[in-house]
Amino acid sequence: MVYPQLPPIMIHSLTLAPMISIVAAFIMPLVGLLIKDRRVWDAYVFTIATAVLALTGIGAYMLYYVVEKPFVYMLGGWPPPIGIVYEVDKFSALLGFISAFIIWLAVIYGLRY
């Protein structure tokens, strides 16, 4: 799908929130093994949660006010029978933002334990 009003970097940035979450989930055990300082671990988790919240909020804003139609992105440029199609409409963007916000609040709550 072509989005003429969005620069290409904004189109590709909408896929960063799920990608950052997946990569961070695999890196967290390694960070826990390598770094024993609790403050560094808390800073890492808070930074990842804040980045995902910000990217999800930007994506939801763009879907609600800029594009006003569902976002469809073919990961790797492969067609749907072979590749993965990432599709986000307004409702799923809202649910993604709400869940990212709740996770962010849980991270803030968990920092003192």
**Tens-digit pLDDT profile for residues 66-110:** 777 788 888 777 878 888 888 888 898 899 899 999 999 999 999
Question: Is residue 43 domain-resident?
Answer: yes
Number of domains in the chain: 1
Spatial separation of the C-alpha atoms in residues 69 and 43, rounded to whole Å: 36
Question: Is residue 1 domain-resident?
Answer: no
Structure tokens, 92? 């799923």
The length of the chain in residues reads 113
Band of residue 2 on the pLDDT scale cut at 50, 70, 90: low
Alpha-carbon torsion angle 84, 86, 87, 91, nearest 10: 130
Question: Is residue 80 domain-resident?
Answer: yes
Question: Is residue 97 domain-resident?
Answer: yes
The whole-model pTM stands at 0.79
Question: Is residue 76 domain-resident?
Answer: yes
Q: Which domain holds residue 94?
A: 8-110
